[in-house]
Amino acid sequence: MFGGKKLTMPSKENALPGRATKMPLPATHFVNGHPFNPPYPEHLEQAMFGMGCFWGAERKFWQLPEGIYLTAVGYAAGITPNPNYQEVCMGLTGHNEVVLVVFDPKVISYQQLLKVFWENHNPTQGMRQGNDSGTQYRSGIYCYSDRQKQLAEASKVAYQSALNGAGHKEITTEILTAPEFYYAEEYHQQYLAKNPGGYCGLGGTNVCMPENLSVAN
């Protein structure tokens, strides 16, 4: 979670080649014991967020009181297939550190997840988050449906208005169709549950998300 100094995205020509082999995964989630490997139960939905150091970001979602089936950390929105942590930190994969959230939409809404996203990091910092600097620490929402994208865009407008009122800068969050999610190494998964005193560079703006977010069907 330290280092990462490249502040511009690599070109396809300059990106590392990666590999075809996927990262080995643990059998179960360290916190809740659910099976870690996909596919996940069909009634569940997925969300993906980048909000700086993925150790602390993942914890924000597994700590939600209900509706979360699984969280996982990984790499996404870059170029290099199946990257590893060292490669991502070099800034030559284009990937962001992200959290995959598998949730039950009948118990917790996507809007509630967006509230956690906006309120628990600073989305105005470009290619950094707090003391962590590099392209892998950028703010991002990666959407699995048109509905998610509509809600994400609407939430960005609403949160920008709230930030403006508190004197903050413009949001730099990227909102994209969800790219392939590459699972990070096993030792990164639920890292702060395994290491409760571990590093967490996550910090918000102390600005609350407006409660009246809605999008027409």
Positions annotated as catalytic residues are 53
Name the residue type at position 39: P
Task: Report long-range pairs for 94-97 (Cβ below 8 Å, ≥24 apart).
Answer: 94/9, 94/10, 94/15, 94/135, 95/136, 95/182, 96/50, 96/135, 96/136, 96/137, 96/138, 96/140, 97/50, 97/52, 97/53, 97/54, 97/57, 97/73, 97/136, 97/137, 97/184
